[in-house]
Each structure stands twice: as C-alpha cells, then as structure tokens.
Structure 1
C-alpha cells in the first residue's frame, strides 16, 4: 500500500470516530485508537490535554516515549505549544510528530506520534495529515462536543 492510500485509510478511520463517541473523552480515545489501527511496527500515538500547568497523557496506543505528565516549559510539548504548529522532533532512532489543537486561541491539547526512523520516512504529506487531524479535533470540539 502506498503512503497516500495509507493516509486516506487513516483519515477515514479518524473521520468515523464521532459516529460512536458520545463524549469528548471517548472522542479523544477514538482518535488515538484510529491512528493506532493498522500502523507500522514500533509506531505509537498519544494525546495530551492541558490541565493546571501540565500536559496530561489521557490516551495512548503503542509503547512510545510518553511521559504521563509534563510540566509547562520543561519539554518538547511546550516547544510545540509555543510554536503553535505541527512539529517534528528527532530522537536517536525515533521521530516524534506533535500537532497542537485549540479552542479559539486556547491550547486544549497535543497529539503526539512516535515513528521509528528506520521504518517510515516522514514527508510533507504526513505533516499535512496530522495538521488535518488536529483541525478535525478542533471542529468536533466546537460543533459536536461543545467545549465549555
């Protein structure tokens, strides 16, 4: 399967999540589960939500380098939040893609994906895909799940 077809299948899986997720927490979990479905070996996905001065991991698939909590200002999640855009960080043998999502100008969370360097080449197409996923989350929060 080529990359375009693979990403299209992931788009479909993520797009179906609101059909069965009744709450925002179920929606977040469903998005991560959809991203984790049928992916490459060594791939992992997680979602962090902003709470009082920390990012809290609320769902993950796979065994990434996820920290359960990360204080604001102390790591790569904070750098991604400051940049306000989909970001790649390369570790020794793993790439991390982080895509923030917002409610207006307020950061709500960050999707964090770990991909083995030797198993998958990240391209502009991947960056666009993760940007689309974060915008999809924002739209669903605003329209279906109504953030307070």
Structure 2
C-alpha cells in the first residue's frame, strides 16, 4: 500500500505482526479495529489517510480519521455510493489516475458493521495479488478474533 525502502512482501509481513499485537491490547471489537488501523498508519511513510466508519441502519458515522487532511476531506467521494453499503461483503479498490482508494467492509454477526477506507496518492503504485491476499488475511483475522471481544 505504500512506497517503502523494503519490498512490499516484507512490509506486509511486518504489518501482520503489528496487527496481531493490536488484538493483545484491545478490550472491545471497535478498539481492536481502531488499534489495527493505528498500527498500520504508524508504519506507513507516505501521504495517505485512513477512515474508520461505523454503519448503523444505512448511516455511516466516522469514528476515526488519520492522515492527510486533503484526503480526509475528500475521503468518501471516490466510489462512496458504489461501495459503502451495509451489504458489501468483500473489499473494493478504485484507481483514478494517481489516486487509490481501498474500501474494506468489516462484518460482525453477518452484517457489515464497520468500513475502513484507505486513500493515497502514488503514481507508481500497482495494486497486486499481494494486496488482495493481505486484505483477505486481515479480514479473516478480524473475523476469528472479534468473537472473543464484545
């Protein structure tokens, strides 16, 4: 997801470790998700933003916003109507020029309860199979661990 000194695979492996540690410190599902996002954000080294939103009765409420202010103001515009629904069950990705946006739904008890949006600008970034695998692994980790949290 980011331009870094180490290769993408090594970077994603490092993120996996930090995401795993987030679970150790969380007391609630929402705290767990917040800690994961904060851990990933701290490890990135370029202009990007993360937004965590809670979905309730079709209404999204932003509960965490990290990163570039210019992205956060426009965060949910590109692809918002298409991706951000409570029926979305898999991650989405949109690329428009140098702008990249990942939409990651987080289902709890069979309904999409949270959305993570990651937006960044990088002309050289190429979305690959590694990204899809990483996002799938994170979602599976959340699914497995969330049942032990309230």
Bin the TM-score by the shorter chain. 0.7 to 0.9
For residue 136 of structure 2, what is the aligned residue in structure 1?
Answer: 131
Q: Which residue of 2 aligns with 1:145?
A: 149
Q: How many positions carry a matched residue from both structures?
A: 141
Measured after TM superposition, the shift of residue 119 of structure 1 is 4.7
In 1, distance between residues paired with 2:112 and 2:73? 19
Deviation at 1:92, TM superposition (A): 4.1
- Mapped partners of 1:133, 1:24: distance in 2: 14
Match of 2:108 among 86, 103, 113: 103
- In the TM superposition, what is the alpha-carbon distance from 1:82 to its structure 2 partner? 4.3
The RMSD of aligned alpha carbons is 2.5
Pairwise CA distance, 1:137: 1.7
| Structure 2 residue ranges without an equivalent (≥5) | 1-5
4+ residue runs over 6 A deviation = none
TM-score, normalised via structure 1 length: 0.81
Give the number of the structure with larger relative contact order, counting CA–CA contacts within 8 Å between residues 6 or more apart.
2
Unpaired runs of 5+ in structure 1?
A: none
Residues 1:116 and 2:121 are matched in the alignment: yes
